[in-house]
A and B are shown apart, each in its own frame.
Chain A
Amino acid sequence: MVHGEAWTIKELFTYPNEYIYWSVQIVMYPFMTGLVAGAFVLSSLYHVFGIKELKDIARFALVFSFALLFAAPMPIVLHLQHPFRGINVFMTPHFTSAIAAFGIVFFTYGAIVASELWFLYRKHFVIKAQALREMRDRTFFEQLQYLLYCSLTLGANDISEEALHRDEKAIRILAGVGIPVACFLHGYAGFIFGSVKANALWMTPLMPVIFIMSAVVSGIALCMLTYIVVMEFRKLMIKRASKPWQMSLEEVKGVEMHVIKMTSKYLVLFLVLAITLELLDLIFRGYTAVKSWDVLRSVIYERDFYDIFIMQYGLGNLVPLILFLVPGLTTRRTLIGVLLVLFGVFMMRWNVVIGGQAFSLTFAGYMHYVLPIIPHDWETTKEGLVGAVGILVLPFVLFYFIAKVFPVFGEARQEH
């Protein structure tokens, strides 16, 4: 069977070679890079602009962004017909292609996040390494830990006030440089789509900007979601065994609500910006009504109406906006809100990627994507529900391990 045939239903007049070639993994790709960029921008709001209310979530967002960074290229790898040749992009980058810059942008961004994390956690590494060095009888595991923390310090063991001040300055610079790079990382994911002149739905110069805005929205929402989950877990732990050096339950609750309220304001701001741009694009298309508008209108207002207006704009944008704007925000309401926002951003990616292939190049036919739920071969596994869920879970698994080395709460809080 031809690639794409398994999940494509062709209707009316389509060219013989047309299929939904870019499937769910290409939906996951901008969704994941969006989360990376968004999480980073959120952490930078504190480090660069000194928005103190976001201090608690900033460190967390940065570590999460790092975990997401490793997961972001995975959808592409799963999508490639020759995944082992993916390295060719770095070996012979063809710079007229938007995808070719991926390696450079991705590694630049990765280097910035990694350096910022290092400056942020250098003190922690030094303290850890010193404590382990002082231990007399180290177990094998402790020895491994010692070696790890020693290498992580990179030999910079000075944790005097002056040195730490220099670290903070470096963090501020890196976070500042990181914002445009993060925006570029994601904006250029939008460029990959927006520059395809053959695709009537994708081709718009607004695409990169729309992608950046929705990226920030999704990044903030994911950080809030994970933050709430972690805080709930902490509260549960405090309830179980109260330790004198830990914060009391009321203190934790207070901090949590304060952070949530502050962050949700930024979420609403970027959400409004994202919706405005998307609606502008839609209105502009309808008003100018070029050749492709007839088929686009039939896709947007008829075939994909439910996905676009009910799921994306309604459930994913309007409902959370109401939830956040109604006074007396609670944790539970926030939780529902951020989940819906994440769903809305996912639907936006879906409606762009799948919606862009829902009509034929003939403008006289349609293609319907049927997501493979129960896989029957490798292709329907990796480019089906199983592959997509795997990609969604991956950053959380990575975060679990990365947070072991870069503690987000607890020890690091005491040190600062």
Chain B
Amino acid sequence: MLSRRNFLKYSLAGAAGLSLTKAVGAKTEEKKPVEVGKGGVRWAFLVDTYKCVGCGLCVKACKNENEVPYDENVTRTWVERYVVTKDGEVVADSPKGARDGFTTPKIDMGHGHEPRIIKPEEISKAFFVPKLCNQCENPPCVQVCPVGATYQTKEGIVLVDRTWCIGCGYCIMACPYGVRFFHPKYHTAEKCTFCIHRLHAGLKPACVEACPFGARRIGNLLDPSDPITRIVQDERVSVLKEEYGTKPQVYYIGLSKEVK
């Protein structure tokens, strides 16, 4: 019998195959570059939630790469686990940002609540969703910084100047995705940078490199031949919290309505 996971996998492969033929056909068409960055590069991220198994290797790699203190309860990227019961109840968690992976069926319910275990027969669906900075086209964090210490590069990546940030926390408040925090050592606003230092060195971000399943990928939206650009343009992808008008640039495959 076809399991749900395999069914999804095959249907995804089928969809990808279909879109590939479409992409080949479209190759000859004149494609307008996305008018975002002026430097010829607009970095965008593609997360395939079907491929994520919640191992947390991406979180570990990110913490090590970007010197975010390993044991502190903040992280530039994290993975969320969603369990939806047959009654329609949604239970989710991300203990320590899933740094150590989801190794137990116990779902962390936060302070004052016992961890929950949902019996497999009660589960209608369960999946993992990696999160990171959306490097928004219209970043509210940049808008609200009173001193201009956070800014958007030509490649569309939002950075923080640690030497100028006053630590007011307004950007943290303004981000609808909760990706910002105060760095425990530098006491300035901190966030994911798509590992811009690695990108400039011709490398992939640490989390992309660390993911054994290819759930995380990065690409240049201004390059029409980039596989990520192809997928974003030709396939059915979605973004998080579109209603805020931030125009996020982290695209998701297989995002479900339960995702917060």
- Which residues of chain A have a CB within 8 Å of any CB of chain B? 1-5, 9-19, 21-22, 76, 79-82, 85-86, 88-89, 91-94, 96-100, 102, 192, 195-199, 291, 360-365, 368
Contacts and interface: CB of A to CB of B under 8 A. Distances in A.
Interface in B168-187: 168-170, 172-182, 184, 187
Contacts of B174: 196-198
A22 B145 CA distance: 15
Interface in B140-172: 140, 142-149, 164-170, 172
A80 B168 contact: yes
Contacts of B111: 9-11, 368
Contact of B164 (A17, A85, A368): A85
A81 B167 contact: yes
Nearest to A364: B260
Contacts of A199: 173
Contacts, number: 153
Q: Name the 4 nearest CB pairs between A and B, nearest first.
A: A81-B167, A15-B178, A99-B146, A362-B260
A13 B111 CA distance: 10
B181 A93 contact: no
A88 B164 contact: yes
Given A17-B179, A81-B167, A89-B166, A198 B140 contact: yes
Given A88-B147, A89-B166, A13 B182 contact: no
Given A2-B184, A98-B146, 8 more contacts: A3-B181, A13-B109, A13-B260, A17-B172, A80-B167, A197-B244, A198-B175, A368-B111
Nearest to A96: B143
Contact of B147 (A16, A100, A362): A100
Nearest to A202: B173
Nearest to A16: B97
Contacts of B245: 197
B112 interface: yes
A16 B93 CA distance: 9
Contacts of A15: 78, 94, 131, 177-178
A197 B97 CA distance: 25
B182 A4 contact: yes
A16 B145 contact: no
Interface of B: 72-75, 78, 90-94, 96-97, 109-113, 131, 140, 142-149, 164-170, 172-182, 184, 187-188, 243-245, 260
B173 A80 contact: no
9 contacts: A11-B109, A15-B78, A79-B168, A82-B165, A94-B147, A94-B148, A361-B260, A364-B90, A364-B92
A194 B142 CA distance: 17
B6 to A, nearest CB: 29
Nearest to B143: A96
A17 B166 CA distance: 19
Nearest to A89: B146
A5 B181 CA distance: 11
A94 B244 contact: no
Contact of B169 (A21, A89, A361): A21
A22 B149 CA distance: 19
A177 B58 CA distance: 58
Contact of A85 (B148, B166, B181, B182): B166
A374 B113 CA distance: 27
B188 A82 contact: yes
A30 B253 CA distance: 43
A24 to B, nearest CB: 14
Given A2-B72, A76-B168, A365 B146 contact: no
Contact of A99 (B144, B176, B187): B144
B147 A1 contact: no
Contacts of A21: 169, 172-173, 182
Contacts of A192: 170
Given A10-B111, A76-B168, A16 B92 contact: no
A383 B109 CA distance: 28
Report which residue of A1, A13, A16 has the largest number of chain B beta carbons within 10 angstroms of its beta carbon: A16
Nearest to B176: A198
A100 B243 CA distance: 26
Contact of B110 (A12, A97, A195): A12
Contacts of B168: 76, 79-81, 99
A17 B180 contact: yes
B166 A14 contact: no
Contacts of A12: 109-110, 113
Contacts of B188: 81-82
Contacts of A100: 146-147
A291 B244 CA distance: 12
Contact of A1 (B93, B177, B184): B184
B96 A16 contact: yes
Contacts of A1: 72, 184
Given A2-B73, A88-B164, A99-B144, A361 B178 contact: yes
A97 B170 contact: yes
Contacts of B109: 11-13
Contacts of A2: 72-74, 181-182, 184
A5 B92 contact: no
Report which residue of B94, B173, B177 has the largest number of chain A beta carbons within 10 angstroms of its beta carbon: B173
Nearest to B92: A13
A16 B99 CA distance: 11
B138 to A, nearest CB: 11
Contacts of A198: 140, 173-176, 244
Nearest to B76: A17
A16 B245 CA distance: 23
Report which residue of B75, B94, B167 has the largest number of chain A beta carbons within 10 angstroms of its beta carbon: B167
Contacts of A196: 144, 173-174
Contact of A365 (B72, B110, B143): B110
Contact of B78 (A3, A16, A85, A99): A16
A11 B168 CA distance: 25
Contacts of B172: 17, 21
B116 to A, nearest CB: 10
